Amino acid sequence: MFCDLSKIRVIAGKGGNGAATFHREKFVIHGGPDGGDGGRGGDIYIIADPNVNTLTDINSSPIYRAECGVNGTKQNCRGADGKDITLKVPVGTIIKTMKNEVIVDLKNVHDKFMIARGGIGGKGNIHFKSSVRQSPSFAEKGEPGEEKEIVLEVRLVADVGIIGLPSAGKSSFISIISNAKPKIADYPFTTLSPNLGVCNLKSIIGEQKSIVFEDIPGLIEGASQGKGLGHAFLRHIMRTRILVHVIDISLPDLVDAYKTINKELEIYGSDLNKKKQVVALNKIDLMPLEDAEKIAKEFHKKTKVKPILISCATGHGIPDLIKNVYKLYKKFIQEKADEQEKNPILDEEYRLFRPAEESDHYFRVIPKEETESGTVEIKGPRIEQLSQMTDFANTEAVSRLRHFLKKNGIEKTLSKMGVKDGDKVLIAGNYLIFRKVL
Residues 6+ apart with CB under 8 A from 352: 112, 113, 114
Q: Is 412 helix (H, G, I), strand (E, B) or coil?
A: helix
Cα separation, 11 vs 253, whole angstroms: 55
- CB-neighbour burial class of residue 179 (10 A; exposed 0-12, middle 13-18, buried 19+): exposed
DSSP state of 358: -
Residues 6+ apart with CB under 8 A from 336: none
Q: Where are the beta strands (DSSP E) in 258-393?
A: 276-282, 308-309, 352-353, 364-366, 376-379
Host H or E run for residue 200? strand 195-200
Host H or E run for residue 246? strand 242-248
Order of strands, sheet of 352-353, starting from the edge strand that comes earlier in the sequence: 85-89, 44-48, 112-116, 352-353
Decide: 39 and 144 in contact? Cβ < 8 Å: no
The per-residue DSSP string of 148-179 comes to: EEEEEEE----SEEEE-STTSSHHHHHHHHSS
pLDDT at residue 147, rounded to an integer = 96
Q: How far out from the chain centre does Cα 277 lie?
A: 29
What CA–CA distances, in Å, run from 103 to 43, 64, 94, 97, 349? 17, 18, 8, 7, 20
Query: Which region holds residue 32: left if phi is over 0, alpha if psi is between -120 and 50, else beta?
Result: left
pLDDT at residue 355, rounded to an integer = 57
Dihedral sign (CA 53, 54, 57, 62): positive
- The DSSP bridge pattern shows strands 85-89 and 308-309 to be unpaired
- CB-neighbour burial class of residue 344 (10 A; exposed 0-12, middle 13-18, buried 19+): exposed
Q: What are phi and psi of 327, to 5 degrees?
A: -60, -45
- Predicted model pTM: 0.69
Cα separation, 290 vs 251, whole angstroms: 17
Query: Which region holds residue 329: left if phi is over 0, alpha if psi is between -120 and 50, else beta?
Result: alpha
Give me the residues of the chain with pLDDT under 50, please: 1, 182-191, 223-230, 345-350
Q: Is 225 helix (H, G, I), strand (E, B) or coil?
A: helix
Give the CATH class of 364-434: alpha beta
Q: What kind of architecture, by CATH, is found in domain 5-154?
A: Distorted Sandwich (2.70)
Residues 6+ apart with CB under 8 A from 168: 218, 246, 247, 248, 282
Closest C-alpha to 325, from 397, 241, 414: 241
pLDDT at residue 228, rounded to an integer = 46
Host H or E run for residue 93? strand 93-97
Cα separation, 435 vs 414, whole angstroms: 10
Query: Which region holds residue 280: left if phi is over 0, alpha if psi is between -120 and 50, else beta?
Result: beta
Assigned fold of 160-338: Rossmann fold (3.40.50)
What CA–CA distances, in Å, run from 210 to 52, 92, 323? 21, 19, 12
Cα separation, 228 vs 230, whole angstroms: 6
Question: How do the domains of the chain map onto residue ranges?
Answer: 5-154, 160-338, 364-434
- The DSSP bridge pattern shows strands 5-11 and 147-154 to be antiparallel
The per-residue DSSP string of 24-48 comes to: -BTTBSS--B-PPPPPPPPPEEEEE
pLDDT at residue 181, rounded to an integer = 59
Q: Is 367 helix (H, G, I), strand (E, B) or coil?
A: coil
